[in-house]
Amino acid sequence: MSEKKSRRDFLRDTSAAVLGAGAGLPFLATTGCEQLQDHNLRGSEQQWAMVIDVEKAKDPAVRRACAEACRREHNIPVIEEPGDEIHWIWDETFEHVFEDQVHEHTPEELMETPVLVLCNHCTNPPCVRVCPTKATWKRESDGIVMMDQHRCIGCRYCMAACPYAARSFNWRDPRPFIETDSEGNFPSEYPTRRRGVVEKCNFCAERLRDGLQPACVEAANQVPGAEGVLAFGDLTDPDSEVSRILAEQKTMSRRVALGTGPNVYYVV
């Protein structure tokens, strides 16, 4: 037998080498994970937050006022077909909003109570983490989870990642479904969207820029008897209305155990 390797030897040595190299891979991956965590835990300088009084929001006029004000402010299309509808602020029953808080002895009446829901502008937003184009991001200056419709490619990863189903996809051109006045003008100057992009509540970033409260907050608090149903303010300011309510009253937020850090709170 010469020095030449047999086919069998060659195969054995090669597979041993591949296995050996593969065993080192987990060590390489560790660095990547650390970077990811660091990125996601970065806080904002300010954090807008909302507190919703569930009891006061039982009045259907309040919830209608919110949805209507939001629809007009952001030129939201009204599409009846389930699955195609676009919603920024809407209501769900208590048992669906707080599904981890109800049990078999929860009174039927509470289960069926309608609760206002919207984007939670999470402190650690999973939608931002998955977006491949950075079309959605957490604004460092005020903690709003923003959307850039110019950059959205409509992949809907963010919709799959959001545990609150706060995002809607434009399955069709929304413009024909936006209510216009007699001259064909849209309710507001806010840009409409196009087919194939995702949209959601933006905490009225365009109104906050002008020093106004979000449209839903303004509208809901004007409904007779519902003053104070929605409170809005900066969580990092201990004297703001939201900080005060959170410190004094019994509040909860949605699916806390997931660690997303929702910034919409409920007085129950």
Partner 1 sequence: MRDRGKIIVGLIIFVILVTFPFWRQLAASGEADVARPDLDYPDPAEVPSCVEDSAYMTANHPHLLNDWRDQLVREGVTEYTSSTGEVYQISLTHTCLDCHEDRDAFCNRCHDYSNVDPTCWDCHTTPGGGS
Q: Which is nearer to partner 1, 180 or 249 (CB)?
A: 180
Q: Let me know: does 123 contact 256? Beta carbons within 8 Å.
A: no
Q: Which is nearer to partner 1, 103 or 134 (CB)?
A: 134
- Cβ 140 to partner 1, closest distance in Å? 9
Of the candidates 56, 27, 13, the one whose C-alpha atom is nearest the C-alpha of residue 249 is 56
Q: SS3 of 208, please?
A: helix
Q: What's CA 267's distance to the chain center, in Å?
A: 20
Q: Which is nearer to partner 1, 108 or 183 (CB)?
A: 183
- Cβ 196 to partner 1, closest distance in Å? 11
Q: SS3 of 185, please?
A: coil
- Cβ 212 to partner 1, closest distance in Å? 14
- Cβ 208 to partner 1, closest distance in Å? 10
Residue ranges in contact with partner 1 by CB under 8 A: 75, 137, 139, 141, 146, 148-150, 175, 183-194, 209
Q: Which is nearer to partner 1, 12 or 195 (CB)?
A: 195
Q: Which is nearer to partner 1, 63 or 193 (CB)?
A: 193
Q: Let me know: does 258 contact 252? Beta carbons within 8 Å.
A: no
Dist CA 247 CA 227 (whole Å): 20
- Cβ 202 to partner 1, closest distance in Å? 11
Dist CA 81 CA 197 (whole Å): 18
Q: Let me know: does 268 contact 250? Beta carbons within 8 Å.
A: yes
